[in-house]
Amino acid sequence: MPLEKSWVTSANSANCAFPLNNLPLGSMKTENGAACAVAIGDFAVNLTAAEAAGLISFAKPLCVDGNWDHLISEPSQTWASFRRTLKSALALGSSAEAGLNSYLVPLADITPNMPFIVAEYTDFYAGRHHATNVGTMFRGAENALPPNWLHIPIGYNGRASSVVVSGTDVRRPWGQLKGPNDDLPTFAPCARFDFELEMGAIVGRPSTGPVSVAQADAMIFGYVLLNDWSARDIQAWEYQPLGPFQAKATATSISPWIVMKEALEPCRTETPPREFELLPHLRDCGPMLYDIDLEVSLTPQGQKASTLARTNYREMYFSSAQQLAHHTTSGCSMRSGDLLGSGTISGPEKHQRGSLLELSWGGKEPMELAEGQSRSFLQDGDKLTLSGHAQGEGYLIGFGECSGVVLPALSNPFEGEKE
């Protein structure tokens, strides 16, 4: 399918992240709260206002609450009809142009708001290069991948309350730390604060028992970019034996725009070769991944941005659908609004690594940045930005940017009384 044309002319360029083929969904802050928005060209359409004014209408009101929870929980037929209606209204020659034209807001002027309420958040560890890099650093090259790793998508439950939208500042956390030469732990600000480049899949349809990979794929509403901020020193002390906890609870940033699965379908691609055949309930049921170019950049306060890494979502060993199928094997109920982090997406090359832990090899090889700067881990004031897009036939499917600035740790984390 080639580029589809819109009456929003900035959407008709091959370099535009938000053509009519994409129509990613977000939320923007307004005087009264928040509004549902769709990105098209250089603009967002305020759909909450347009729907209220009767200028666009779906099978039922879907934009009333300023986020996409209603639509996400609908059957997939409604997702498809919603997209048809929206596409038709924004297509070149649509009679809706005159009405909707006054509901366009320049993207540069909007303040993103959470596009959905996260029901529960699960984070996986399903990128082979990342798991191999981290395992090599901690356990040596021969024991890099745990024995289970090639058979199940390893994951852990994260904290839904940690999820924030791009643009939200992230406060460097305090935590309990113990260096290898310390006798006793201390409570101190994190000194090894890091990012993780991930994609997030949003579960739309709920389930109450085990689902197949094909069923799981059909349950997924869409995808976001996701930065799983990570406190490496807190993690090193806390994670045995029950996994990461406070190291991952400070914040998890997502892109302002949810790209609906349908928009990504033309960009399907295969998973990497398997070392062991997967058990039947986790086996690929078609091309399981998407070809999505991803990039990380770091902007020290008041300085120029440097690209840290470039990689691609096709590097994942397990897809979101396989992760979701695994998630349900125990009978675990899945809910509309559940968010599944893919795990850090690293490629085989050094410049394709999706975290500073890997890029600086645990701090031993600091990354050189522009203007003579270098980084082993994030410093206060650093702005970290993820971006990504899939390449269609003559058009892009972009996610926008997922960014956050690291604020200094509180001087006393307990100051200020709480009720």
Instruction: Please report whether residue 85 would count as binding its own copies according to CB under 8 A.
Output: no
Taking the C-alpha atoms of residue 406 and residue 194, their distance in angstroms, rounded to an integer, is 10
Question: What Cα–Cα distance (Å) separates residue 415 from each residue in 82, 410, 411?
Answer: 48, 9, 9
Instruction: Please report whether residue 283 would count as binding its own copies according to CB under 8 A.
Output: no
Instruction: Please report whether residue 408 would count as binding its own copies according to CB under 8 A.
Output: no
> Which C-beta is closer to its own copies: that of 106 or that of 413?
413
Q: How far is the CB of 103 from its own copies (least distance, A)?
A: 33
Instruction: Please report whether residue 19 would count as binding its own copies according to CB under 8 A.
Output: no
Q: Which of 70, 130, 326, 389 is catalytic?
A: 130
Residue 171 · residue 230 · CB < 8 Å: no
Instruction: Please report whether residue 125 would count as binding its own copies according to CB under 8 A.
Output: yes
151 is a catalytic site residue: no
Q: Which of 54, 93, 241, 302 binds its own copies (CB under 8 A)?
A: 241
Q: Which of 61, 106, 146, 348 binds its own copies (CB under 8 A)?
A: 146
Binders of its own copies in range 184-203 (CB under 8 A):
184-187
Instruction: Please report whether residue 334 would count as binding its own copies according to CB under 8 A.
Output: yes
Instruction: Please report whether residue 215 would count as binding its own copies according to CB under 8 A.
Output: yes
Q: How far is the CB of 222 from its own copies (least distance, A)?
A: 17
Size of the site for its own copies (CB under 8 A): 74
Bond preceding residue 241 cis, omega within 30 of 0:
yes
Q: How far is the CB of 99 from its own copies (least distance, A)?
A: 34
Binders of its own copies in range 154-173 (CB under 8 A):
154-162, 171, 173
Q: How far is the CB of 78 from its own copies (least distance, A)?
A: 11
Binders of its own copies in range 53-82 (CB under 8 A):
75-76
- Segment contacting its own copies by CB under 8 A, of 174-182, 287-295, 303-311, 355-363: 174-182
Q: CB-based burial of residue 301 (10 Å sphere; 0-12 exposed, 13-18 middle, 19+ buried)?
A: exposed
Q: How far is the CB of 398 from its own copies (least distance, A)?
A: 30
Q: Which two tokens stand for residue 109?
A: 């002027």
> Which C-beta is closer to its own copies: that of 160 or that of 191?
160
> Which C-beta is closer to its own copies: that of 109 or that of 183?
183
Instruction: Please report whether residue 379 would count as binding its own copies according to CB under 8 A.
Output: no
Binders of its own copies in range 296-325 (CB under 8 A):
none
Q: How far is the CB of 303 from its own copies (least distance, A)?
A: 26
> Which C-beta is closer to its own copies: that of 16 or that of 131?
131
Q: Which of 104, 218, 285, 405 binds its own copies (CB under 8 A)?
A: 218
Please enumerate in sequence order all residues whose Cβ is within 8 A of that of 343, keeping only pairs 6 or more positions apart, or say none. 123, 124, 125, 126, 127, 130, 131, 153, 155, 198, 316
Q: Which residues are designated catalytic?
A: 130
